[in-house]
Amino acid sequence: MKTVINVKTDKALKDKAQKTAKKLGLPLGTVINNYLRHFVEESQVIFSVPEIPNKRTVAILRQTSKDYREGKNIAGPFSTGEEMDAYLNS
């Protein structure tokens, strides 16, 4: 027996979810049912938040990208692990 669940959600989120499901060739209801099955089987809810680097890490990443573009501070490629170890130990 099938039933209907009414869930309030942001219209933009629903539209994006429908477009994404369509790209995968799935109806949105199938995606939602899959999440519900997983929720029931695992008894868990997973919330993920994109990792955001702190200011120090952002500065390091910017500097390494700049160095790479300028061809500075680049080592390797190495043919063997021993070759890499020797470079790192020097």
The DSSP secondary structure of 42-60, one letter per residue, reads: H------------HHHHHH
Say what percent of the chain tops pLDDT 90: 83
In a domain, 6, yes or no: no
In a domain, 50, yes or no: no
Are 39 and 45 contacting, i.e. CB atoms less than 8 angstroms apart?
A: yes
In a domain, 4, yes or no: no
* pLDDT tens digits along 13-56: 999 999 999 999 999 999 999 999 999 999 999 888 888 999 99
In a domain, 79, yes or no: yes
pLDDT at residue 37, rounded to an integer? 95
Average pLDDT, the chain: 93
Write out the residue range of the structural domain in which residue 72 sits: 55-89
Element at 65 (helix H, strand E): helix 55-70
- Calpha distance 78→87 (Å, rounded): 9
- Calpha distance 77→80 (Å, rounded): 9
